[in-house]
């Protein structure tokens, strides 16, 4: 059983139109890679990024969507709007959304449902805080988030899980290889489709640690923040994933 390998970049609140040149630098690397390459720019750039990536192997995603299809929600973006702008995926439940906007697991589940209804692949994020890890509660916390954030009673659904320990995001710290292996195995055994669902690791993934992380059997790819803003670094991470896909074959 081979699972898709996915390397996803999350630009967060970075990127003006001048950043679109990134895609012509990454396109040849994505074309050579057996991994799926996804970039999630800010919503203002989704349409232009999708246009810039037409005819390339790069997919474009949103960073969040509203749970409703449309309505009186000033400033929000629906999954249908992202799809209409050319997105194929959308990140939901990123820890920065959970922290900055008070998003609950129920909110994340509603967003994942909305993404699926719009024909987008939701990338559902889970992860423990430093205090939760220090208390030895990381698996319990992440398992509870997963159970409450996943669409209910559905199998055969195209979705992606991203395990991102909150304390590793943007800090230069990563979980140890053993801790990542343990958490990904724990997540996999709780998934409705354990054999086929892609589980990403995220949190300070860089060119120098990507091969070790992607070498783990239950790590199917990476969700990359800071290093996805630099075409050279992101290309190096995509190349590390190519090695993984060759091993899997």
Structure tokens at 223: 């969700």
Please check whether residue 65 is in contact with residue 91, taking contact to mean a CB–CB distance below 8 angstroms.
no
Q: CA 64 to CA 92: how far, in whole Å?
A: 5
Residue choice 169, 175, 181, 238 for contact with ligand PGA (CB under 6 A): 169
Q: Is 224 in the site for ligand PGA (CB under 6 A)?
A: yes
Q: CA 63 to CA 97: how far, in whole Å?
A: 9
Beta-bridge mates of residue 147:
none
Smaller CB distance to ligand PGA: residue 33 or 228? 228
Supply the minimum distance, in Å, between the C-beta of residue 173 and ligand PGA.
9
Residue choice 21, 28, 119, 170 for contact with ligand PGA (CB under 6 A): 170
Supply φ then ψ for residue 59, to 5 degrees: -100, 155
CA neighbor of 229 nearest in space, from 6, 16, 28: 16
Supply the minimum distance, in Å, between the C-beta of residue 163 and ligand PGA.
11
Q: Is 174 in the site for ligand PGA (CB under 6 A)?
A: no
Residue choice 86, 127, 151, 202 for contact with ligand PGA (CB under 6 A): 202
Supply φ then ψ for residue 201, to 5 degrees: -100, 140
Please check whether residue 157 is in contact with residue 151, taking contact to mean a CB–CB distance below 8 angstroms.
yes
Residue choice 49, 82, 223, 235 for contact with ligand PGA (CB under 6 A): 223
Residue choice 80, 107, 164, 220 for contact with ligand PGA (CB under 6 A): 164
Q: Is 203 in the site for ligand PGA (CB under 6 A)?
A: yes
Q: Which stretch binds ligand PGA (CB under 6 A): 45-53, 101-109, 183-191, 200-208?
A: 200-208
Supply the minimum distance, in Å, between the C-beta of residue 169 and ligand PGA.
4
Residue choice 204, 233, 238, 244 for contact with ligand PGA (CB under 6 A): 204
Q: Which stretch binds ligand PGA (CB under 6 A): 102-110, 187-195, 198-206, 209-217?
A: 198-206
Residue 164 falls in the annotated catalytic set: yes
Say how many residues touch ligand PGA, by CB under 6 A: 13
Smaller CB distance to ligand PGA: residue 26 or 223? 223
Residue 94 falls in the annotated catalytic set: yes
Which stretches of the chain bind ligand PGA, using CB under 6 A? 10, 164, 169-170, 202-205, 223-227
Which sequence positions are flagged as catalytic? 94, 164
């Amino acid at each position: 059983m081979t699972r898709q390998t996915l390397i996803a970049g999350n630009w967060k609140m970075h990127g003006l139109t001048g950043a679109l040149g990134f895609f012509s630098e990454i396109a040849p690397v994505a074309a050579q890679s057996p991994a799926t390459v996804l970039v999630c720019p800010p919503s203002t750039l989704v349409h232009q990024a999708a246009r810039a990536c037409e005819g390339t192997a790069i997919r474009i995603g949103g960073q969040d969507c509203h749970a409703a299809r449309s309505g009186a929600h000033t400033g929000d973006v629906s999954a249908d709007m992202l799809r209409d702008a050319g997105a194929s995926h959308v990140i939901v439940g990123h820890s920065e959304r959970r922290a900055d906007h008070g998003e609950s697991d129920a909110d994340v589940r509603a967003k994942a449902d909305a993404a699926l209804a719009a024909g987008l692949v939701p990338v559902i994020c889970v992860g423990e805080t430093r205090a939760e890890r220090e208390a030895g509660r990381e698996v319990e916390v992440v398992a509870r988030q997963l159970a409450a954030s996943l669409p209910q009673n559905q199998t055969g659904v195209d979705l992606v899980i991203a395990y991102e320990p909150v304390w590793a995001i943007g800090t230069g710290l990563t979980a140890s290889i053993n801790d990542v292996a343990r958490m990904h195995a724990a997540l996999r055994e709780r998934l409705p489709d354990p054999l086929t669902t892609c589980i990403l690791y995220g949190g300070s993934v860089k060119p120098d640690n990507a091969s070790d992380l992607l070498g783990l059997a239950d790590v199917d790819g990476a969700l990359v923040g800071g290093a996805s803003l630099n075409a050279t670094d992101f290309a190096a991470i995509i190349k590390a994933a190519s090695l993984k896909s060759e091993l899997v074959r």
